[in-house]
Amino acid sequence: MLQTISKPTELVLPDTERLSLAQTLDCGQSFRWTFQNDGTWIGVVGKRVLWVKEEKGKLLAGCLSRAETDGEMEPFLREYFDLDTDYQKIQRLCGSNPVLKEAAAFAGGIHILRQEPWEALCTFILSQNNNIKRITGLVERLCENFGEPILTIDGRKYFSFPTAEVLASQTEEGLAPVRCGFRAKYVLDAAKKVSSGKIDLDALREIPTQEAMDILMGIKGVGPKVAQCALLFGMHKLDCLPRDVWIGRAMDRLFPEGFPQEVLPIAGVAQQYLFHYVRCYPEILEDEK
């Protein structure tokens, strides 16, 4: 077992809780977690390198990078894994439509993580016109080159996500090792606007989704899809419905009139169920007849 500096934290989940780490950490919302062959996940959240694991009705976790005082980890985990949101209720809302009901039954272990706003914005800028495997590589190289080294396990180094300030001090040529192509200038524009305070990401949490989107779309390379991903995954705005190629196809085919009214406030979660569902069963979107 990995050496956790402090005693591992055990969180007992209610029996109604369907949290699945595999679904949550591998559904394309975060690109910073890797599955280990001992059944744990390792990822970097802020300054912490964490391991997490699920065990019948429990979430087990530990911090590998620093000592945690008693009682520090639990609220942190509850927050990051969004354990205080009522996902049972969300799945009930999805039940009003047969397709969403099916998607929710299949992917109901997904929680929307509460990631750092800057990290979410930056990674989804990198995500555009790109596939998940390569996005993961870009994020990794971004962190290796511009993040802070936190610790090394089994020869693998873990880095924090670079701050907007550090990236704002770079140039397009400086970002070359990331190999993110035309997205480099977009990352720089975002980093400059965020680090200068021209855009205050925390303030966006408090204002209506559409206004927040308009502000984010003032960044070069941020259109509606990236803005909605930043808001959904970085600011927990569950009404955001980012439309990528997968969701676009699924919506056209399965919801030509859009989602049902009652789902709209949690459309982002429904969208994520659907995303995971159609990625696992792409034949759903094939032409019948």
Partner DNA sequence: ATCCAGGTTGTCC
Partner DNA sequence: GGACAACATGGA
Cβ-based nearer residue to DNA, 75 or 181: 181
Q: Is 101 a catalytic residue?
A: no
User: Contacts with DNA: how many residues (CB under 7 A)?
Assistant: 37
Residue 198 in contact with DNA, rule: CB under 7 A:
no
Q: Is 24 in the site for DNA (CB under 7 A)?
A: no
Is residue 247 at the binding interface for DNA, with CB under 7 A as the rule?
yes
Options 21-29, 46-54, 90-98, 253-261: segment touching DNA (CB under 7 A): 21-29
The distance of closest approach from Cβ of residue 72 to DNA in the complex, given in angstroms and rounded to an integer, is: 29
Interaction between residue 80 and DNA (CB under 7 A)? no
Q: Residue 271, interface with DNA (CB under 7 A)?
A: yes
Site string for DNA, 206-225 (x = CB under 7 A): -----------x-xxxxxxx
Choosing from 192, 193, 225, 237, the catalytic residue is 225
Burial state string for 85-119 with b = 16 or more CB within 10 A and e = fewer than 16: bebeebbebbeebebbebbbebbbbbbbbbbbbbb
Q: Where are the alpha helices (DSSP H) in the chain?
A: 21-25, 73-80, 87-94, 98-107, 117-126, 132-146, 164-168, 184-195, 201-204, 209-216, 224-229, 235, 245-254, 267-280
Phi, psi of 63 (to 5 degrees): -100, 125
* Tokens standing for residue 159: 């880095």
Q: Is 136 in the site for DNA (CB under 7 A)?
A: no
Residue 235 phi, psi (nearest 5): -130, 10
Minimum distance between the CB of residue 117 and DNA, rounded to whole angstroms?
A: 16
